[in-house]
Amino acid sequence: MRGPRLADLRGARRRHDPVGQQPAAVEDDAEPVAEIDAPEEVDLVFRLQRRLAFTAGVVFLAATLAVPVLSITWPTWYAVGERGGITPNFAAVAFLLPTGYAALALVFRRRADVYEERILGRREPHP
């Protein structure tokens, strides 16, 4: 999953008007400031998050559904020899897919957090 570069995101954030929504007053050193989400920034985050979520979703569904499809079509994938052994099919269902889900979740969380941190929460002098 490759998203936009973070430097580009910072640039995109600077381009928007400072029209805030629900400013949150915070103390930044001595000067009170407000954290602002502009509608354009929220829209940008929405689009990035949607792309991230659906890309991850496609990877997830493709990997998950590939296993039963291969179970139907490819004997090397599913057939057990007379002497036994673990087939790629069994290994995928019992180990690889669950482990892959955990890895996907960690990557997704990190990227989603980064988008929000870098784009939202601009600090302005408190009105």
Partner 1 sequence: MTMNTAAVVLGVIFIIGSLVVSLYARRRTRTVLDFYLAGRRIGAFANASAICGDYFSAASFLGVAAAVYVSGLDGVWFATGFAAGLVPVLLFLAAPLRRSGAFTIPEFLGMRFGSRAVRLTAVVLIQLVVFMYLVPQLLGLGETWAVAIGAALPGLTPFDTGMLVGALVMVAYVGVGGMRAATWQQIFFFWFFFSAVLMVVALAYLNGFRYLPALADLAPEPLRTVHEAAGEEAGVQWQVRDDPNRLHPDRPARFGEPGHRYGAAEQVSMVLGLALGTCGLPHIIMRHLTSPTGRLARDAGTYVVILATLYYIPAVMAGVAARALLPGILSQDSRYAPLAVEGYLKSPEQAVLILAAGLGGDVAMGFVAAGAFAAILSTMSGLLLSGAAALSHDVYAADIDPRAPERRQILVGRLAVIAIGFLGLVMGAAMRRTGVLQTYPSVLAVMVSWVFALAGAGLFPALLAAIWWPRATARGALAAMLVGGGGTLLWIGLHAAHVGGVISGPPWLEALAGLSQPSIVTVPLAALALVLGSLRSQAQTAPQGLQDLWMRMHGTAAERPAVRLVEVSGVTDPAGGEVAGPGGG
How many C-beta neighbours within 10 Å does residue 117 have?
Answer: 11
**Dmax (CA) of the chain:** 77
- Taking CB under 8 A as the criterion, which residues in 20-39 touch partner 1? 20-24, 26, 35-37, 39
The angle formed by the CA atoms of residues 117, 120 and 126, to the nearest 5 degrees, is 120
Site track for partner 1 across 104-123, x = CB under 8 A: xxx-xx--xx--x---xx--
Residue 88 found at the interface with partner 1 (CB under 8 A): no
Query: Of residues 84, 118, 124, 125, which one binds partner 1 by CB under 8 A?
Result: 84
Q: Would you state the structure tokens that stand for residue 35, as one six-digit string?
A: 């954290």
3-class SS of residue 82: coil
Query: Of residues 12, 56, 114, 126, which one binds partner 1 by CB under 8 A?
Result: 56
Query: Beta strands of the chain (E only): which ranges?
Result: 24-28, 31-36, 122-125
Cα–Cα distance measured from residue 44 to residue 5, given in angstroms and rounded to the nearest whole number: 14
Residues that bind partner 1 (CB under 8 A): 20-24, 26, 35-37, 39, 41-43, 45-46, 49-50, 53-54, 56-57, 60-61, 64-65, 67-69, 71-72, 78-87, 89-90, 93-95, 97-99, 101-102, 104-106, 108-109, 112-113, 116, 120-121
